[in-house]
Chains A and B, each alone.
Chain A
Amino acid sequence: MEIIKATGIHKTYNPDKIPVHALRGVDLGIEKGEFTAIVGPSGSGKTTLLNIIGGLDTPDKGSIIINNTDISSFKDNEMINFRRDNIGFVFQAYNLIPVLTAKENVEFVMVLQNRNLKERTERAEELLNAVDLGDKMDKRPSELSGGQQQRVAVARALASNPTFVLADEPTANLDSTTTANLLDMMLELNQKEKMTFVFSTHDQRVIDRARRVITLVDGKIV
């Protein structure tokens, strides 16, 4: 079953001034449990596509169906709640809330979901252990390295039990060993938790580990 189904996605920036056709007719289906990389040259539309799938941006044309729900008709707050419950995000940077500890960051989305304290604590500890940060739970982001911060972000993305995790160049700011670690961990969670991952990347080593690779060129899948 396809959990993400994008059909005929078009997106043009600055339609009135100098139009930039970022996406021109993208069709994409993602099945549960995939570990998929979206690759392509800079400016090919990877971020735009991920933002649209993640409900952070809206397409000019086309439809996005996630878990049999058409998300294009959502209002602001409906969209926010839908993201909270269905999509885990890992961004390239500025992922974590600086005033919260690692554990509190992971708990954060569960607080937004109004889950109870016991459940939150257990899940946060379990996930932080899974990303190998059991000993850093009470550290604030500023006390963690870039790789550790990204791992906290991955743990947090999973905390809400989302339908899938979207990651836009999660390793862009990491060196090669940390990149490898993060990928190992994501793959492990992909297998153990049956979590679907969709991520964009430039990095050949990351592309090599993906199970499916979707290539974008000039706003189209090739």
Chain B
Amino acid sequence: MKMILSIAWRNIWRNKTRSWVVIGSILVGIWSILFMLSFSYGLITTYVDNTIRYQSSHIQIHNPDWKEDQEVEFTLENTESVLQYINNQSYQSSATQRTLVNGMVRSSRGARGAMIKGIHSEKEGQVSHIDQKIVEGKYFTENKKNEIIIAQKLAERLKLKIRKKLVLQFQNAQGDIVAGSFRIIGLFSTANTLYDESFVMIKQTDLNRLLVLPNASHEIAVFLDDSKELAQVKSDIQNQFPHLLIEDYKEISPDANLYESQMEVSHRIFITIFMLALIFGIINTMLMAVLERNKELGMLMALGMNKTRVFFMIVFETLMLGIIALPFGLILSWLSITYFGKHGVDLSAFSDGMEQFGMSTLIKSYIPTELYFSLSTATVFTALLASIYPAIKAINLKPIEAMRKI
């Protein structure tokens, strides 16, 4: 075996240019696929992270009936005990409660439907980080009544400015239409402007007073410091409060889930294409290497090198090319992914529409470590597959015929 390895190793350096061309193309292949995937990962991961951070949080808890049909009376019964339970757990998390009602936002210039969220100003910031997204004005100040924060985009549509007043109108628990006048103290804007426009925020105390539901909440949102704990936390809460509807971000924002799973599918397709392209390149080169060594291979078999050994010699030669290319390809990929992971690539010139859907235009490349491993495996596997045909060609040579051909 050692002898075969050593012959194989020396054989690949007989035609240095050709070997380097193969190594180079495997290297470039590895690099381009990882680099490309890293942007796709970066894009989706940023999107999903943003969704969790500014929209859905990791977990939301509702009255199961509320989910069906968002009526005011479907409140959560034990908001305080749920919050207390979550705060007493060992994982790091922030949780807040909200009152929700669908209503109209009116200005003198127009009206639009929106979800009115009654929030706890202090806790809300820790969960949905909306206080970091105020672009004009300020976040809630402690004890003024009837303040409202709306999306910058919504303000534009309703021709409203900061400090102006607007009217919220909705049905209370008794079915009466109620209205309240609110002063805009802040405008916010997240990456997803479509989502921004869909709701307005007032203080929970103000909303509950208008609804005549003093201690009501419809929703509890939980943001985890470590996403990996999500599954565990979710099932813990579910076990503790079996009659509540507990959902994670994938259930709340099916698009995030869809992107994540689509990403996996498309990555598999990319890797398969990559392998196919490599396979044909390698087969072609190795066939050349086998055919031009006809006589020599014939001589080896005449001398008594059996077919298994000849087969493995060709397989080793092919594998070695892949294995030489691999570390270079990985290092190059890692360097460029790290660089663009830090600095990002600004696609705003090409991507007017993207922001609207919550896609960031500054894409930072990112790749989960497992992908380096799966691509390494794929490369070695590809080289192995590609070596089989040339190796079979080699062992099917008949020594005398191989040696007679000039």
Q: Is A94 an interface residue (CB 8 A)?
A: yes
- Among A81-89, A128-136, A175-183, the one that faces the other chain is A81-89
- Among B176-184, B276-284, B302-310, the one that faces the other chain is B302-310
Q: Is A100 an interface residue (CB 8 A)?
A: yes
Contact of A84 with B403 in the complex, beta carbons under 8 Å:
no
Q: Is B111 an interface residue (CB 8 A)?
A: no
Q: How many Å lie between the Cα of A77 and that of B301 in the bound state?
A: 9
Residues of B within 8 A of A95 (CB): 299
Nearest-CB distance from A7 to chain B (Å)? 22
Number of residues on chain B facing chain A (CB within 8 A): 21
Residues of A within 8 A of B307 (CB): 76-77, 80
Q: List 28 A-B contacts (CB under 8 A).
A: A51-B400, A56-B399, A56-B400, A76-B307, A77-B306, A77-B308, A80-B301, A81-B304, A81-B306, A83-B303, A84-B304, A85-B304, A89-B302, A89-B303, A91-B299, A91-B302, A94-B295, A94-B296, A95-B299, A97-B7, A97-B300, A98-B296, A99-B11, A108-B3, A111-B3, A112-B306, A112-B309, A156-B303
Per-residue CB contact flags for chain B residues 167-203 toward chain A (1 = under 8 Å, else 0) read 0000000000000000000000000000000000000
Q: Is B10 an interface residue (CB 8 A)?
A: yes
Nearest-CB distance from B230 to chain A (Å)? 57
Chain A interface size, under 10 / 10 to 19 / 20 to 34 / 35 or more: 20 to 34
* Residue in B3, B296, B303, B403 whose Cβ sees the most chain A Cβ within 10 Å: B303
Contact of B302 with A56 in the complex, beta carbons under 8 Å:
yes
Nearest-CB distance from B247 to chain A (Å)? 64
Q: In B302-353, which residues have CB < 8 Å from any A CB? A: 302-309
3 nearest interchain CB pairs? A84-B304, A99-B10, A111-B3
Contact residues of B: prevailing secondary structure: helix
Nearest-CB distance from B161 to chain A (Å)? 82
Q: Which residue of B is nearest A94, CB measured? A: B295
Nearest-CB distance from B289 to chain A (Å)? 13
User: Which residues does A use to contact B, with CB under 8 Å?
Assistant: 51, 54, 56-57, 76-77, 80-81, 83-85, 89, 91, 94-95, 97-100, 108-109, 111-113, 156, 160
Nearest-CB distance from B387 to chain A (Å)? 18
Q: Which residue of B is nearest A83, CB measured? A: B304
Per-residue CB contact flags for chain B residues 51-70 toward chain A (1 = under 8 Å, else 0) read 00000000000000000000
Q: How many Å lie between the Cα of A99 and that of B133 in the bound state?
A: 68
Q: How many Å lie between the Cα of A109 and that of B304 in the bound state?
A: 7
Residues of A within 8 A of B3 (CB): 108, 111
Q: How many Å lie between the Cα of A33 and that of B307 in the bound state?
A: 32
Given contact pairs A51-B400, A99-B11, A94 touches B303 in the complex (Cβ within 8 A): no
Q: Is B14 an interface residue (CB 8 A)?
A: yes
Q: How many Å lie between the Cα of A115 and that of B400 in the bound state?
A: 27
Residues of A within 8 A of B10 (CB): 99-100
Residues of A within 8 A of B304 (CB): 80-81, 83-85, 109, 112-113, 160
Given contact pairs A56-B399, A112-B309, A83 touches B302 in the complex (Cβ within 8 A): yes
Q: How many Å lie between the Cα of A77 and that of B395 in the bound state?
A: 11
Nearest-CB distance from A21 to chain B (Å)? 18
Residues of A within 8 A of B296 (CB): 94, 97-98
Q: How many Å lie between the Cα of A114 and that of B270 in the bound state?
A: 45
Q: How many Å lie between the Cα of A51 and that of B304 in the bound state?
A: 14
* Residue in A80, A95, A111 whose Cβ sees the most chain B Cβ within 10 Å: A80
Q: Which residue of A is nearest B303, CB measured? A: A109
Q: In B250-301, which residues have CB < 8 Å from any A CB? A: 295-296, 299-301
Contact of A57 with B400 in the complex, beta carbons under 8 Å:
yes
Contact of A100 with B400 in the complex, beta carbons under 8 Å:
no
Residues of B within 8 A of A85 (CB): 304
Residues of A within 8 A of B303 (CB): 83-84, 89, 108-109, 112, 156
Given contact pairs A91-B299, A97-B296, A98-B296, A112 touches B14 in the complex (Cβ within 8 A): no
Q: Which residue of B is nearest A92, CB measured? A: B403
Q: How many Å lie between the Cα of A69 and that of B14 in the bound state?
A: 40
Given contact pairs A51-B400, A99-B14, A100-B7, A80 touches B299 in the complex (Cβ within 8 A): no
